[in-house]
Amino acid sequence: MIKSMTGYGLAANNFANAKYTVEIKSLNSKFLELSLKLPKAFSDKELLIRNECSKQIDRGKVTIAITVDYPEGAAKLASIDHNLFKVYYNQLRAAANEVSDAGNNLFQIALNFPEVISYEEDAISEEEWQYVLKTFNDAMSNFQLFREDEGSVLLEDLLLRINNILESLKQVEENEPKRIPLIRERLNQYLSEAVGRENVDMNRFEQELIFYIDKLDITEEKIRLKSHCDYFMAALKSPDANGKKLGFICQEIGREINTIGSKANDAKIQQTVVGMKEELEKVKEQLLNVL
């Protein structure tokens, strides 16, 4: 069963006096593009999370954010490096005096310099990490469920488009037998007007006509087109269906449709082929979002 590359999953769990939230979002992409937003205390777990994502998320532009909320004001305390602050402040004051500036906001500017203010970041315990990991897995389950639900919608639309192509193929088969008499009539009329009917070698004409009609035969293309469409629908419902495989089948479908159009030599068939191409383009657009 196919999945959408678009997905969203959210989960939250409490541990001690903190609330841990994991949010996973994804958009379509040819490859796995993973962006992680983690608290500094979780930096040593980044590789573990990336490996887990590689196993569970095949493709997509994925953003994962893990946040910690301290509802009772138990956030990590901030500390000020007084010596570093004085160095920055004195340098700013000296620069302000050189240009005769009042320097009213030098205090705030000095506070914002790198490493003047630092926050206490304790390494998380193994027990705490297990709660975070559980939250991550819950979010991943919700994320995968979202992808499956979106995939069901895509599945219905893709089946509709392929069935429309097969219905158009039936119209081609209905109009195909009408081509030969029309081709024969047009060639007869052309030869009669060009050289006169009495000057036409009918045996040679029939031989050339058979050769010409054989070049316009689309029997093989029709068989292959139907086979590719059937294969496409079977791949949609198989457990290992994926967007890349469906994309390759889609290319083969397009090749047969184009060949039928180039060989048609009939206005009605060519009009039907245009409709088939429109449906195939819609299939291609949807496949961009199939995992």
- One-character DSSP codes across 97-154: HHTT---TTHHHHHHTSTTTEEE--PPPPHHHHHHHHHHHHHHHHHHHHHHHHHHHHH
Phi, psi of 180 (to 5 degrees): -60, -50
- Cβ atoms of 229 and 253 within 8 Å: the answer is yes
**pLDDT average, residue stretch 166-174:** 93
Residue 19: what pLDDT? 86
Strand order in the sheet with 18-27: 7-15, 18-27, 60-69, 32-37
More confident of the two residues 52 and 120: 52
Residue 224: what pLDDT? 95
Q: Tell me the CATH architecture of domain 7-74+127-147.
A: 2-Layer Sandwich (3.30)
CATH class for domain 149-287?
Answer: mainly alpha
**pLDDT average, residue stretch 190-212:** 67
- Distance from C-alpha of 273 to C-alpha of 279, rounded to nearest angstrom: 10
Is the predicted pLDDT of residue 161 greater than 80, yes or no? Answer: yes
The single-letter code of the amino acid at 179 is: R
What pTM was computed for the model? 0.71
Is the predicted pLDDT of residue 65 greater than 90, yes or no? Answer: yes
- Distance from C-alpha of 273 to C-alpha of 257, rounded to nearest angstrom: 7
Average pLDDT value over all residues in the chain? 84
Residue 144: what pLDDT? 93
Q: Which residues, 6 or more positions from 138, have their beta carbon under 8 angstroms from its beta carbon?
A: 11, 13, 22
**pLDDT average, residue stretch 91-119:** 78
Domain ranges of the chain: 7-74+127-147, 78-119, 149-287
Is the predicted pLDDT of residue 198 greater than 70, yes or no? Answer: no
Model confidence band, residue 68 (pLDDT cutoffs 50, 70, 90): confident
- Cβ atoms of 144 and 9 within 8 Å: the answer is yes
Q: Which residues, 6 or more positions from 192, have their beta carbon under 8 angstroms from its beta carbon?
A: 200
Is the predicted pLDDT of residue 105 greater than 70, yes or no? Answer: yes
Residue 93: what pLDDT? 83
